Structure 1
Amino acid sequence: MRVVSLHRYPVKSMAGETVDRVLVDRRGIVGDRAWAVVDPDGKLGSGKSTRRFRRMEGLERLAARYDGDPAPDTGPVAGPIVTLPDGRSWPAGDPALDAAVTAHVGRPVRVAAESAVPHHDEGPLHLVTTATLARLGAEAALLRANVVLDAPGLAAFAEDGWTGRELLLGGVLVRVREPMARCVMVGRRVLHEVAEVNDGCAGLVLDVVDGGTVWLGDEVRPMSVGATG
């Protein structure tokens, strides 16, 4: 099993970036979802509405990237650069960006850094296999996966059986918490497909046991009996 792509999403619910390596700590990938679009009442812009999140149309059409690698333990070296659909870009923290995103989503908002509570919906890391992506006809970015793993001969959704197991992703030890329940962020077609064939789940939620670095092409090794499904 090998890591075949790595993805980081600097701003929650916006398109992110594909990278060759990531730094991982107990929170997850350093810089991943470290920023969010925030309402005056403190709710975070998302594809769904919950106690913490507020559905905001069009966030997925914005893209965020870092100019360089975020630094471990201290957060990003600088805020991400956010690009609108028309190609205009500003760094997070620029009032012009807040004004542009406000106009885009149709409500007063600002792009703000994470404080005490992580922005993640479910857990620190999200992994999916190429077999599951192929079965759904979806890209990793649509499922907002951080790590895509390829294992020759593995069946779609076989990773669901890894719950409770530990995996070594390059230099990072993770524990599989549970399958990832999907929401409307994946789109109606994929959401319907997942509901039909796998009880609404696709991919895995991972907790970080020991941090480190994961590189594109790193071997993924099961550290517990049965972790290969």
Structure 2
Amino acid sequence: MAEIIGVVEQLWRYPVKSTGGERLDSVEVDGRGLAGDRLYAVRDGAGRLGSGKNTRRFRRMDGLLRLSARLGHRLDGPELFDPLGRPVADPTAFLRAYLQRPDVVLAREDAVSHFDQLPVSVLTTATLDWVRGAAPDAVVDERRFRPNIVLRTPPGTPPFVEDTWFGREGRGGARSGARLAFVRAGERCAMTTAAQPGLPHAPEILKVITRAHAGRLDALAEVARPGRLAVGDAMSLH
């Protein structure tokens, strides 16, 4: 039996990994994820990708979250914006000066995926509202969690309802055709707490998520079938 789990309230794409994204009314979903999502990244001379953390694949580059990017209808290259929201004429030259790293470039994805975990993140308003209640002194905004899809859930939906979707498939409406295979929750890091335009540093957010839910938040999914998603689409669980 199909179960309606919510309505698409927001769609987000992040053309440049670890920078602010663009809010969309509709978007194509292809085998890779939302078309153009994390298609570009800031890459250093060792091939590591700019991020909020240091790992074998990622290099911490403070300040990226104060920038933003958009593709609009183009997938041939992103438009990058500085911390004041002004467009940047030469993204690589700007990034080298801004980050004070002469070896970085703005690079399109090649053989190494730019995704930290899985390609699509879905977050419910029920879970967002819980975070707001658990961290009342923090400014809680969906941008802290970098979801692709914010799903408006029915009244009374419990927080972390996303956990009940794993192993099942979320489908857009009949006109959408898109299907998402839910796999697991995302593991949260310090980027959740980092300052960005309009949002101050908020360490308490990660603390409450860690205490209540082992630092996990949202539902991560792979694309089971390409299609198109739009704000207002109902999503059903199969």
**TM-score, length-scaled by structure 2:** 0.86
SS at match of 1:164: coil
Matched, 1:164 2:167: yes
Spell out, residue by residue over 1:46-83, the C-alpha distance to the aligned partner (whole angstroms, 9 max, x if none): 011111110100100001011x324xxxxx1x211101
- The answer to whether the 8 Å contact 2:181/2:222 transfers is yes
SS at match of 2:88: strand
- CA–CA distance in structure 1, aligned partners of residues 38 and 50 of structure 2: 12
Pairwise CA distance, 1:86: 3.7
SS at match of 1:154: coil
Spell out, residue by residue over 1:78-115, the C-alpha distance to the aligned partner (whole angstroms, 9 max, x if none): 21110111444236xxxx32121112222121111111
- CA–CA distance in structure 2, aligned partners of residues 166 and 87 of structure 1: 38
- CA–CA distance in structure 2, aligned partners of residues 151 and 87 of structure 1: 32
- CA–CA distance in structure 1, aligned partners of residues 144 and 237 of structure 2: 26
Matched, 1:111 2:116: no
Counterparts of 1:23-102 in structure 2 under 5 Å? 23-66=28-71, 68-70=72-74, 76=75, 78-90=76-88, 96-102=90-96
Identity %: 41
| Corresponding residue of 2:179 | 173
SS at match of 2:123: strand
- The answer to whether the 8 Å contact 1:194/1:202 transfers is yes
Pairwise CA distance, 1:162: 1.3
Pairwise CA distance, 1:150: 1.3
- CA–CA distance in structure 2, aligned partners of residues 32 and 52 of structure 1: 18
Aligned pairs, number: 212
- The answer to whether the 8 Å contact 1:7/1:141 transfers is no
- CA–CA distance in structure 2, aligned partners of residues 22 and 16 of structure 1: 13
Matched, 1:155 2:158: yes
- The answer to whether the 8 Å contact 1:26/1:124 transfers is no
Structure 2 unaligned runs (5+)? 1-5, 133-139, 194-202
Point out the more displaced range, 157-166 or 12-21.
157-166
| Corresponding residue of 1:19 | 24
- CA–CA distance in structure 2, aligned partners of residues 86 and 9 of structure 1: 18
Structure 1 unaligned runs (5+)? 71-75, 224-229
Structure 2 CA distance for partners of 1:212 and 1:89, relative to 1, 3 Å: same
| Corresponding residue of 2:223 | 208
Spell out, residue by residue over 1:180-219, the C-alpha distance to the aligned partner (whole angstroms, 9 max, x if none): 1111110122111100111111101101100110000000
Ranges of 4+ aligned residues in structure 1 off by more than 3 Å:
none
Give the aligned residue type for 2:183. Answer: R
Structure 2 CA distance for partners of 1:199 and 1:20, relative to 1, 3 Å: same
- CA–CA distance in structure 2, aligned partners of residues 168 and 87 of structure 1: 35
CA RMSD of aligned residues (A): 1.2
